[in-house]
Amino acid sequence: MSRYKAMIYITLKEGILDAEGETVRRALISLGFDVSEVKSGKMYIIEFKCDKDPEEVVEKMCRHLLANPVVNNYKYELEEL
């Protein structure tokens, strides 16, 4: 069984107001930065073992728990350890 590390990024879908991103944008502007857009999101670093296609396993993790298809997009990077 091989070991893998996945870096999973969860963001809000286009068109859904990113309240946290907008708050961060205003805070950065108040600190003097010339910021036009901030998108907030979450990142998970997950180490796991599997004997089949690791991409399929990460897809399942995203679809079953980490991302909500109504509001989220996800992408990931995968490496074998």
Partner 1 sequence: MVVTIGIPVYPGTNCDVDVYKAVKLAGASPKRIWYKDYKEMWKVDAIVIPGGFSYADYIRAGAIAARTKMTETIKELAEDGMPVLGICNGFQVLVESGMLPGALTVNKSARFICRWVYLKVVRNDTPFTQLYDEGEVIRMPIAHMEGRYIPSSGFNKRLIVLQYADSCGNVTEDANPNGSYMNIAGIISARENVLGLMPHPERASEDALGGSDGLRMFKSLIEYLRR
Among residues 54 and 74, whose Cβ is nearest to partner 1?
74
Contact residue for partner 1 among 6, 57, 62, 66 (CB under 8 A): 66
Contact residue for partner 1 among 3, 19, 55, 75 (CB under 8 A): 19
Query: Is residue 22 a contact residue for partner 1 (CB under 8 A)?
Result: yes
Any alpha helices (H) in 1-81, and if so which ranges? 19-30, 54-61
Contact residue for partner 1 among 2, 23, 60, 77 (CB under 8 A): 23
Which residues in this chain contact partner 1 in the complex, by CB under 8 A?
Answer: 12, 16-17, 19-20, 22-23, 42, 64-66, 68, 70-71
